[in-house]
């Protein structure tokens, strides 16, 4: 299997997977880059997986469907370019003969789903849209901190070697915020150096892994004393509930520059 993030817009990635014959793409916000890639790889687009309704994740669907006839899958309860096969938590979808489990992960949007593949070429794979980013998480447009914390906790419980395919290259700015939360986290500081080198050469910082994110991503660490301490300092109240800590971190990040 070939796994590739195609850059789109200023900082999106459209994840593409093919087996030499057939391909799938995740969250194609635009079509041209995908069509070029399909032609260059000489593969046929069979499936389009959508995580949520935002235009930077769905804008390329009509043109790709028109050009390839690919089947489109997406979350129940969100407005998407029809026709779409709707998916709920716990359902499985089998494009290219792979078996993706659907996880409902509300927070960024109300219906947001993630696609989890238990094993591909030796490790699990997760397409998580705008829920989990490397070093960060999506903004809470349609959900509460409690929902997002629950969603992120489900993702954090996946195997540590799960490859995390997020849809934005936000890593360096996320890690700069993470450093404000945890200045003494050596895993974090090492990873910042590594990602700077990657970005200097214009390489993606993704996929990440669940194991790495649990060490460096403050939004997966809201249950830890170090995060509670930082959030308490920030808010001026003594916080120990992970949801409250998460809420303070998320609002802090919204205004962090
Ligand atoms: Zn989004
Ligand atoms: Fe997005």
Question: In the block, which residue shows the tokens 């360096």?
Answer: 172
User: What is the whole-number distance in angstroms between the Cα of residue 54 and the centre of ligand 2?
Assistant: 7
User: What is the whole-number distance in angstroms between the Cα of residue 91 and the centre of ligand 1?
Assistant: 22
Ligand nearest 140 Cα, by number? Answer: 1
User: What is the whole-number distance in angstroms between the Cα of residue 104 and the centre of ligand 1?
Assistant: 15
d(CA 36, CA 49): 19
User: What is the whole-number distance in angstroms between the Cα of residue 107 and the centre of ligand 1?
Assistant: 10
Ligand nearest 139 Cα, by number? Answer: 1
Mean pLDDT of the chain: 98
User: What is the whole-number distance in angstroms between the Cα of residue 52 and the centre of ligand 1?
Assistant: 7
Query: Contact 97/109 with Cβ under 8 angstroms?
Result: no
Mean pLDDT of 132-144: 98
State the alpha helices, DSSP H only, in 25-159: 32-41, 55-58, 61-68, 145-156
CA-based nearest residue to 248, from 28, 257, 88, 237: 237
pTM exceeding 0.75: yes
User: What is the whole-number distance in angstroms between the Cα of residue 253 and the centre of ligand 2?
Assistant: 17
Mean pLDDT of 69-74: 98
User: What is the whole-number distance in angstroms between the Cα of residue 13 and the centre of ligand 2?
Assistant: 9
Ligand nearest 9 Cα, by number? Answer: 2
Supply the pLDDT for residue 257: 87
Ligand nearest 169 Cα, by number? Answer: 2
Quick one: pLDDT band at residue 216, thresholds 50, 70, 90?
very high
């Amino acid at each position: 299997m070939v796994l590739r993030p195609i850059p789109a817009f200023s900082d999106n990635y459209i994840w593409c997977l093919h087996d030499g014959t057939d391909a799938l793409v995740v969250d194609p916000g635009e079509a041209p880059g995908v069509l070029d890639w399909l032609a260059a790889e000489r593969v046929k687009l069979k499936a389009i997986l959508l995580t949520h309704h935002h235009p930077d994740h769905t804008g390329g669907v009509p043109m790709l469907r028109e050009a390839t006839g690919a089947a489109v899958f997406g979350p129940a309860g969100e407005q998407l370019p029809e026709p779409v096969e709707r998916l709920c938590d716990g359902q499985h979808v089998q494009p290219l003969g792979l078996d993706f489990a659907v996880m409902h992960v509300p927070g960024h949007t109300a219906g947001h789903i993630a696609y989890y593949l238990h094993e591909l070429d030796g490790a699990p794979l997760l397409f998580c849209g705008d829920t989990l980013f490397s070093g960060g998480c999506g903004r809470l447009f349609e959900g509460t901190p409690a929902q997002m914390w629950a969603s992120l906790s489900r993702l954090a419980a996946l195997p540590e070697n799960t490859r995390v395919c997020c849809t934005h290259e936000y890593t360096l700015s996320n890690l700069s915020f993470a450093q404000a939360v945890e200045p003494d986290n050596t895993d974090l500081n090492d990873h910042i150096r590594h990602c700077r080198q990657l970005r200097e050469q214009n390489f993606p910082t993704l996929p990440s892994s669940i194991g790495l994110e649990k060490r460096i991503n403050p939004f997966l660490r809201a249950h830890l004393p170090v995060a509670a301490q930082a959030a308490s300092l920030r808010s001026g109240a003594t916080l120990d509930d992970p949801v409250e800590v998460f809420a303070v971190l998320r609002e802090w990040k919204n205004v962090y520059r």
